[in-house]
């Protein structure tokens, strides 16, 4: 987890302490501690809680966004969550209600990315709004706040976070030139079929 946090900071998705990461293992959740800096995160800055939010291991208090992580784990079968404050994603979350599919790579997150309504950080209202936005999606934007991804493994959640920010930056650049074209349902279906047929994004032997 500490290594993943440092990777996210190096990629520019997090500045200082703005973000949090967690991994679930059964009834326990390892989560970054409040006030921990991503750029030099260490294993000692990871706290373990149960699904009720009680600290069971670690010397530091868990992130103020603990309700956000636990709410997603309670609703979905995810194993890892990454919450960041990326520049492009956060900027779009200040102006869009939904990030449309302008590039097929966004399909790896499930399709158009919803923007969860704004609510104060650390509140049940924010946790509920973000959980709703993640329905049938592996990522969401948080209005005037940031971005979040979930996955079956920590490395997957990190990769999806990087992908989401890449598409957000792509949208931002395209919008300065003109109105970005959006892939329609037919184009999306064809891309998904190509993903499956060619095992796109996964190493495999040559035929």
Say if 203 falls within a structural domain. no
Which residues form the domain of 151? Answer: 2-198
pLDDT at 17: 87
How many domains, in total, are found in the chain? 1
Please indicate, yes or no, if residue 114 is contained in any of the structural domains.
yes
Residue 143 maps to which CATH number?
3.40.225.10
pLDDT at residue 81, as a whole number? 98
Q: Is residue 204 part of a domain?
A: no
Block means of pLDDT (10 residues each) for the chain, 207 residues, are: 96 93 97 95 96 96 97 96 98 98 97 98 97 98 98 97 98 97 96 83 55
Res 189: pLDDT:
95
What confidence score (pLDDT) does residue 200 get? 63
Domain-located, residue 33: yes
pLDDT value of residue 77 = 85
The pLDDT value recorded for residue 146 is 98
Q: Are 89 and 12 in contact (CB under 8 A)?
A: no
Q: Please tell me the predicted confidence (pLDDT) of residue 104.
A: 96
* DSSP symbols for 13-60: S--TT--EEEEEETTEEEEEBTT--GGG--GGGEEEEETT--EEE-SS
Catalytic positions, please?
65
Question: Is 207 a domain residue?
Answer: no
Q: What is the pLDDT of residue 207?
A: 59
Exposed, middle or buried by CB within 10 Å (0-12, 13-18, 19+), for 162?
middle
Question: Are residues 161 and 84 in contact, defined by beta-carbon separation less than 8 angstroms?
Answer: yes
From the list 171, 156, 153, 74, the residue with the least C-alpha distance to 115 is 171
28 in any annotated domain? yes
- Residue 206 within any structural domain of the chain: no
**Prediction pTM value:** 0.93
Owner of token pair 């970054």:
32
Residue 205 placed within a domain: no
Closest CA to 150 of 39, 9, 24: 24
């Amino acid at each position: 987890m500490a290594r993943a946090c440092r990777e996210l900071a190096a990629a520019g998705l997090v500045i200082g302490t703005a973000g949090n990461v967690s991994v679930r293992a059964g009834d326990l959740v390892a989560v970054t501690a409040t006030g921990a800096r991503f750029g030099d995160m260490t294993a000692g800055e990871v706290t373990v809680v149960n699904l009720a939010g009680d600290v069971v291991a670690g010397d530091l208090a868990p992130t103020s966004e603990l309700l956000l992580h636990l709410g997603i784990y309670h609703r979905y079968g995810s194993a890892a969550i990454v919450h960041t404050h990326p520049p492009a994603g956060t900027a779009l979350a200040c102006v869009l209600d939904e990030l449309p599919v302008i590039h097929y790579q966004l399909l790896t997150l499930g399709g158009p990315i919803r923007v969860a309504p704004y609510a104060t950080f650390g509140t049940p209202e924010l946790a509920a709004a973000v959980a709703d936005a993640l329905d049938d999606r592996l990522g969401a934007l948080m209005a005037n706040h940031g971005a979040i991804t979930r996955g079956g493994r920590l490395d997957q959640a990190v990769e999806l976070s990087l992908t989401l920010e890449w598409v957000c930056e792509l949208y931002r650049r395209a919008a300065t030139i003109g109105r970005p074209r959006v892939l329609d349902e037919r184009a999306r279906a064809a891309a998904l079929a190509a993903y499956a047929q060619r095992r796109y994004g996964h190493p495999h032997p040559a035929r």
